[in-house]
């Protein structure tokens, strides 16, 4: 709706008088007197679409969409960023794969705003050349990372986080654009479910207090394992330099 009018199938329909102006009649006017040409009608349609998106709960801080969500039908990245952005004090994260730059930028912004972030990672996945852990460590002293050190079979396979001890996220979706159903959505927002490299994953968001408390106890136990690599920045810096050398001369490491 735009002040009593709406765009419909190529013509402007007035609700108050019931008058219809065909698309080929040149200029007409909105009730406010604003001239509307054919290109103007096209732009107005785009504005209407953007308006409908801006009024969604996710865009303007409405209630979080708790419950089950599935990619690639939904963009789980958007849900994650919305939930993370509610943090005021702490975020505890256990994430197997983490290559999503939009989420890493969100975490960096929150850390600069005073949120303490603990990120628990797997010792194999953190070696991915697109992994965001080292970049995050460079952004803020409020970001802390520990790595599970064990044999290759005993991986840290969780994909979960807890925001301020009250909002719990679990599921099968890693923090990667294909895993979150965001790979195609970034390029084709209206048909993102048809994009390539779209994984079938789920995300469960809950504000249940008992579930949150259980995850907090579990996370604290994982975080405090004696075998963890507790200060990984130096290790990750060395790995980065070795990877660069490998890419430069083609040698293996």
Ordered by start, the domain boundaries in the chain are: 1-41, 67-249
Mention every residue, 6+ apart, whose C-beta is less than 8 A from residue 52: none
What is the pLDDT, as a whole number, of residue 73?
87
* Residue 105 contacts residue 138 (beta carbons within 8 Å): no
CA pair distance 109, 214, nearest whole angstrom: 28
Task: Enter the DSSP assignment of 246.
Answer: H
What is the pLDDT, as a whole number, of residue 148?
95
Cα 100 versus chain centre, distance: 8
What is the pLDDT, as a whole number, of residue 39?
58
Q: What is the dihedral of CA 102, 107, 110, 114, to 10 degrees?
A: -160
* Number of neighbours of residue 77 by Cβ within 10 angstroms: 25
Ranges in the chain, pLDDT < 70: 1-61, 183-197, 246-247, 250-253
What is the pLDDT, as a whole number, of residue 237?
82
Dihedral angle sign, alpha carbons of residues 171, 177, 183, 186: positive
Q: What is the dihedral of CA 77, 241, 237, 234, to 10 degrees?
A: 150
What is the pLDDT, as a whole number, of residue 226?
94
The CATH superfamily of 67-249 is Endonuclease Chain A (3.30.870.10)
Q: Which of 162, 160, 152, 90 has its CA nearest to residue 125?
A: 152
Q: How far is CA 115 from CA 92, 145, 162, 209, in A?
A: 11, 14, 13, 21
């Amino acid at each position: 709706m735009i002040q009593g009018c709406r765009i419909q199938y190529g013509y402007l329909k007035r609700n108050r008088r019931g008058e219809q102006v065909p698309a080929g009649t040149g200029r007409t006017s909105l009730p406010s007197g604003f001239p509307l040409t054919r290109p103007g009608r096209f732009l107005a349609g785009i504005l209407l679409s953007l308006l409908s998106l801006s009024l969604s709960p996710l865009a303007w801080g409405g209630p979080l969409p708790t419950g089950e969500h599935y990619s690639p039908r939904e963009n789980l990245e958007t849900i994650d960023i919305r939930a993370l952005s509610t943090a005021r004090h702490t975020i505890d994260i256990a994430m197997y794969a983490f290559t999503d730059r939009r989420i890493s930028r969100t975490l960096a912004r929150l850390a600069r705003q005073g949120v303490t972030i603990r990120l628990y990672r797997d010792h194999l996945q953190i070696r991915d050349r697109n992994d965001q852990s080292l970049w995050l460590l460079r952004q803020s002293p409020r970001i802390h990372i520990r790595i599970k050190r064990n044999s290759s079979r005993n991986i840290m396979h969780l994909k979960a986080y807890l925001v301020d001890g009250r909002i719990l996220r679990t599921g099968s979706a890693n923090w990667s654009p294909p895993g979150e159903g965001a790979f195609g959505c970034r390029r084709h927002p209206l048909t993102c479910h048809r994009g390539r490299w779209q994984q079938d994953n789920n995300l469960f968001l809950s504000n249940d207090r008992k579930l949150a408390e259980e995850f907090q106890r579990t996370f604290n136990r994982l975080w405090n394992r004696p075998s963890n690599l507790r200060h990984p920045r130096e290790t990750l810096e060395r790995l980065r330099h070795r990877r660069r050398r490998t890419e430069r001369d083609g040698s293996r490491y």
